[in-house]
Amino acid sequence: MPVVGMIGGGQLARMTQQAAIGLGVTLRVLSDSAHASAARACADVRIGDHGSLDDLSAFAKGCDAVTFDHEHVPSDHIRALEAGGIACRPGADALLHAQNKLIMRERLSAAGVPSPRFSPVREPADLAAFAERTGWPVVLKAALGGYDGKGVWVFHSVDEARDVIDGAVARGVELLAEEHVPFRRELAALVARSPYGQGAAYPIVETVQRDGICHEVIAPAPGLDEEVAARAQGLALDIAERLGVVGLLAVEMFETDSGILVNELAMRPHNSGHWTIEGSRTSQFEQHLRAVLDLPLGSTTPTAPYTVMANVLGGADPAVYDRYIHVMAHDPGVKVHFYGKEVRPGRKIGHVTVLGDDLDDLLARARHAADYLREGPR
């Protein structure tokens, strides 16, 4: 049976391990700590630094394919692994577009993919010039390394932005400005692509963000026009093909009055796809493994009319397990997922999923469970 190496020991690797167990595949995890989320759940854990080529090379030896739980492995290291004959999936050339937002914007714009206007920012004057075209506010982003709202700012004037720009330039951080899109809501497309070239698309979902963190996902996005949904799926499949993605591609999108715009890309299991564990015939985690191993992809048929996923964040009281009793007794149909991470306020520590046909009921149940797991009784 094959060995898939996943670089990163977070909850995405942890949930991939559940799928790997089912398929009989060995998931080997490179983790910076034996106490990381996935390290607590896997039999084959190697402790090492994803920034060290030596650690990466030692880890990859004997893996049939190497894939990623996050975007933080330097491109040059992935290229070096590939040069050494390691099947990195996705490869460095594809992954670069999920690592560097400026390169992604340039590539997708050149390909005619509908995107917000953007511009590189090297000094405050660049931001001023950009805002003259788009108006304020303007979104400023670090090209590399941001996630969950980190490395993203919204500014209403150059004066507001000056310290951030000067600080970033001083540290050599590449910046880009993007127009602030007045969106109706956020959507996400999730597709998989195998080396053979097979593609599979999940239904388009609605995502609700708070403070830059994914808060809630509704699958499928309620009331979404069928043609728009098909176009969004097609767009994601097209991006996956064009960039040579292998594995999952998540495309975060804005739904606006004039259509859909691409916000961000991720090439790994994604928070917007956690609903698929119960809500789809094939979970995103199994799908990622199948794609990475060049196996035929699984059915993305939903298992219920609606699935709602709500993230559980850490609250003031870390005794989450003590709150299982209420949540499970209150609602025997709610699925509780806990990532085995140390509880810190605001940190993603788990999620809950409910399925059914009454969306309002599902939203109320998911929110109750997630809120209670975070805070206990109000």
Stretch touching a copy of itself by CB under 8 A, among 129-137, 255-263, 288-296, 361-369: 288-296
Question: Which has the closest alpha carbon to 47: 34, 60, 28, 62?
Answer: 34
CB 272 within 8 A of CB 216: no
Q: Is 321 near a copy of itself (CB under 8 A)?
A: yes
Question: Which has the closest alpha carbon to 246: 3, 57, 68, 76?
Answer: 68
Q: Is 299 near a copy of itself (CB under 8 A)?
A: yes
Identify the burial level of 65 via C-beta atoms within 10 angstroms of its C-beta, where 0-12 means exposed, 13-18 middle and 19 or more buried: buried
Instruction: Closer to a copy of itself by CB, 11 or 115: give it.
Output: 11
Q: Is 22 near a copy of itself (CB under 8 A)?
A: yes
Nearest approach, Cβ of residue 30 and a copy of itself (Å): 15
The annotation status of 141 as a binding-site residue, yes or no, is yes
- Cα distance between residue 229 and residue 41, in whole Å: 36
With H, G, I as helix, E, B as strand and everything else as coil, classify residue 71. Answer: coil
Q: Is 170 near a copy of itself (CB under 8 A)?
A: no
CB 95 within 8 A of CB 78: yes
User: Does 90 sit behind a cis peptide bond, omega within 30 degrees of 0 on the bond before it?
Assistant: yes
- Cα distance between residue 205 and residue 284, in whole Å: 13
Q: Is 377 near a copy of itself (CB under 8 A)?
A: no
With H, G, I as helix, E, B as strand and everything else as coil, classify residue 323. Answer: helix
Residues touching a copy of itself, count (CB under 8 A): 46
Tokens of 214: 């994914």
The annotation status of 97 as a binding-site residue, yes or no, is no
CB 370 within 8 A of CB 352: yes
The annotation status of 263 as a binding-site residue, yes or no, is yes
CB within 8 Å of 367: residues ≥ 6 apart: 216, 310
Instruction: Closer to a copy of itself by CB, 58 or 324: give it.
Output: 324
Stretch touching a copy of itself by CB under 8 A, among 111-119, 209-217, 268-276, 299-307: 299-307
Nearest approach, Cβ of residue 246 and a copy of itself (Å): 16
Q: Is 301 near a copy of itself (CB under 8 A)?
A: yes
With H, G, I as helix, E, B as strand and everything else as coil, classify residue 378. Answer: coil
Q: Is 2 near a copy of itself (CB under 8 A)?
A: yes
Question: Which has the closest alpha carbon to 239: 228, 227, 250, 230?
Answer: 250
- Cα distance between residue 290 and residue 246, in whole Å: 10
Per CB under 8 A, the list member of 4, 6, 9, 14 interacting with a copy of itself is 14
Q: Is 328 near a copy of itself (CB under 8 A)?
A: yes
Stretch touching a copy of itself by CB under 8 A, among 175-183, 246-254, 259-267, 338-346: 338-346
CB within 8 Å of 271: residues ≥ 6 apart: 207, 214, 217, 311, 348
CB 272 within 8 A of CB 236: no
Site string for a copy of itself, 355-374 (x = CB under 8 A): x-------------------
Stretch touching a copy of itself by CB under 8 A, among 132-140, 209-217, 247-255, 273-281: 273-281
Per CB under 8 A, the list member of 43, 111, 125, 154 interacting with a copy of itself is 43
CB 102 within 8 A of CB 143: yes
- Cα distance between residue 236 and residue 155, in whole Å: 30
Stretch touching a copy of itself by CB under 8 A, among 33-41, 84-92, 165-173, 177-185: 33-41
Per CB under 8 A, the list member of 282, 284, 307, 311 interacting with a copy of itself is 282
Q: Is 295 near a copy of itself (CB under 8 A)?
A: yes
Q: Is 339 near a copy of itself (CB under 8 A)?
A: yes
State the binding site for ATP.
Answer: 101, 141, 178-181, 186, 263-264
Binding site for a copy of itself (CB under 8 A): 1-2, 14-15, 17-18, 21-24, 26, 39-43, 45, 277-278, 281-282, 290, 295-299, 301, 303-304, 320-321, 324-325, 328-329, 332-333, 335-340, 350, 355
Annotated binding-site positions: 101, 141, 178-181, 186, 263-264
